[in-house]
Amino acid sequence: MTDGGRRALAVRVLLVVIVVAAAATVLVIVRRNGRAAASGPAVDPSVAGTAAAGLAPADIVAPPADPARWIGPQGRTGQFVAHCPYSHSAPDDPIVQFGKPGRSHRHDFYGATATDASSTAATLQAGASTCDKPADTAAYWQPTLYDHGEVVVPVEAQAYYRAAPGIDPTTVVAMPSGLALIAGDQTATEPQPGEATGWTCGASTRLTDDPPTCTDTAPLHLVLTFADCWDGVHLDAEDHHAHVRYSTDGACPASHPVSIPQLTVSIKFPIWGAGHDLTLASGSIYSAHGDFLNGWGEAGLEREVAACIHRGAVCDLASNREEEALFSYGT
């Protein structure tokens, strides 16, 4: 073979190597995005964990920033509250695993009573709700909590809607119907940065990465704070976070200019005293996270935002004096 032939052969071999490498890279990207697992078999609902549920790490990504949380007295800002007793549990997730029943780890649901893997804003609005506000047919959920491997049945979720600290309340608009929000990172195996999620006792706002030892008068709570800045276009994103951001220094970024209510959900569990061995259906206790799918009746949500957040009125406290202490630092 001539020198020219050898050079031509070498070039062809190099091109083949490049093409194969590129194909392998594409395959890895596809698998990381979870598409390769989409047609896989349903998992055993009793098996906890992201890998067992057929989820790749890229299916859900941690929020991009740390929320500024309200920790002062209740009366510092306008707000409204929805009390939503526990509804049901299922290995479903209408955000991360939409249309795939049984493909998620087990979740506990509050609010809309028919929430399942195929829920949409329309189906939520057409059904019943456990919440004490008739217009609140939204779905709230978090991974099931286990104690020594046994299911802990939660008590209720309390959903607080306010302007985030520093945000002009009059600029806040109602969340669009169908908006999907996730707080926290279900893949975390170590303490998560920031305070989008954390554990506390009773009404205290001192959040910890590990569940603290609580008393029967102030049992264990999981507190979740969701992003409050929306891009104004998308109801969800491939990573379930890119369409929203947390405000910083009292302002939303130019990429996400729409101020929506800062939603904080406090979930109450019948857990107190010592001797517990707590885990989550998503894995480590550090994988705490929560989801929200906006199924509010549109007129009802807009009415609450205008009457409470815009006016600076602290609504929904007269019927439950216990709320007055919530978000008072150190209580």
Residues 140, 292 contacting (CB under 8 angstroms): yes
For 290-310, the pLDDT digits (tens) are 999 999 999 999 999 999 999
Name the token pair of 91: 């290995």
Query: Total structural domains in the chain?
Result: 1
* pLDDT above 80 for 271: yes
Residues 286, 297 contacting (CB under 8 angstroms): no
* pLDDT above 90 for 118: yes
* pLDDT above 70 for 287: yes
The pTM (predicted TM-score) of the whole model is 0.78
User: Which residue segment(s) compose the domain that 194 sits in?
Assistant: 60-325
Q: What rounded mean pLDDT belongs to the chain?
A: 81
Q: What is the pLDDT of residue 55?
A: 36
- Does residue 86 form part of some domain? yes
The number of C-alpha atoms within 13 Å of 260 and in the hemisphere containing its C-beta is 25
Q: What is the pLDDT of residue 310?
A: 97
- Does residue 20 form part of some domain? no
Which of helix, strand or coil describes residue 84?
strand
Q: Which residues pair with 156 in a beta bridge?
A: 85, 268
- Does residue 280 form part of some domain? yes
- Does residue 252 form part of some domain? yes
- Does residue 48 form part of some domain? no
- Does residue 139 form part of some domain? yes
- Does residue 222 form part of some domain? yes
For 18-67, the pLDDT digits (tens) are 333 443 333 322 222 222 222 222 222 222 233 333 334 444 444 555 78
Residue recorded with tokens 């510092």: 76
For 74-109, the pLDDT digits (tens) are 556 899 999 999 999 999 999 999 999 999 999 999
Q: Is the dihedral of CA 31, 236, 256, 225 positive or negative?
A: negative
Q: Which of 11-20, 261-270, 283-292, 311-320 has the lowest mean pLDDT?
A: 11-20
- For the segment 173-178, the average pLDDT, to the nearest whole number, is 98
Residues 175, 243 contacting (CB under 8 angstroms): no
Which of helix, strand or coil describes residue 143?
strand
Residue recorded with tokens 């919530």: 326
- Does residue 6 form part of some domain? no
